[in-house]
Amino acid sequence: MENIQGKIVVITGASSGLGAETARHLVKAGAKVALGARRMERLDTLVKELGADSATAFQVDVTDRERVDAFVKDAHAKWGRIDVMLHNAGLMPMAPLAANRWQEWDQCIDVNLKGVLYGLGAVLPIMQAQKSGHNIFVSSVAGHVVNPVGAVYCATKTGIRVIAEALRQEVKEWGGRTTILSPGAVNTELPQSVKAEGVSQMIADFYANSSIPADSFARAAVFALSQPQDVDINEILFRPTAQAM
């Protein structure tokens, strides 16, 4: 915990689930957080809970590159530096490829991949100028194990791991660090993004029977961030004990 005290952490997808719970854990450990998401009313509620001295809110859709850039710049202007960015915003639209749900494909790629790239484009110049910075990426067990209704989602989560590994090698010269967090079924709103008939109920039932609380993810993030500067935790893969795949 001592290495988290005073850190400035930017979080996308911060209005609920993994992002909100991680923000709570980080503030408790002494960090300050910049919270970004589309649902401003939820962000405002979270800022009230965490305290205005420790949290700020910014309305952002990660598919809008200019808004992502403005969010990161706003956080930097507020706190004077950015130590960590948690690239958390994501969707999980699952369906057979033959269903041809192309609008969901576009949205999944825009949020899960391009949103991460936009975040990196905004924050890396700041971190490089500081000669320090830690990027945390949210992949998934689905970035390691492919399932027949998850082709596009699994592809994006595998892609995140590729981006993170390339960045890991790129930032070594100035002391940057990267962590991939790959959770299994965690109790969040993510299953609600599954809309395909039949698949949505299957996923909902699986999460109802197997998921673990969001603080499991937050504790993994805190562990990675609490390491001294010479330790780089590159990936944590974890599942509910009850999850076989």
Q: How many C-beta neighbours within 10 Å does residue 138 have?
A: 27
pTM confidence score:
0.96
156-189 burial string, b = 16+ CB within 10 Å, else e? bbbbbbebbeebbeebeeebbbbbbbbbbbbbbe
Please state whether 198 falls in left (phi above 0), alpha (psi between -120 and 50) or beta: left
What is the tens place of the pLDDT at every residue in 125-169? 999 999 999 999 999 999 999 999 999 999 999 999 999 999 999
What is the tens place of the pLDDT at every residue in 11-25? 999 999 999 999 999
Smallest CA-to-CA distance from 37 within 89, 82, 77 is with 89
215: three-class secondary structure by DSSP: helix
Say yes or no to pLDDT of 198 above 90: no
Does 207 qualify as catalytic in the annotation?
no
**Environment class of 88 (CB within 10 Å of its CB; exposed 0-12, middle 13-18, buried 19+):** buried
What is the tens place of the pLDDT at every residue in 102-136? 999 999 999 999 999 999 999 999 999 999 999 99
What is the residue extent of each domain of the chain? 8-228
**DSSP assignment letter at 30:** T
* Mean of all residue pLDDT scores within the chain: 96
Q: 8-228 — its CATH code?
A: 3.40.50.720
Selected catalytic residue, list 153, 178, 194, 217: 153
What is the tens place of the pLDDT at every residue in 211-222? 999 999 999 999
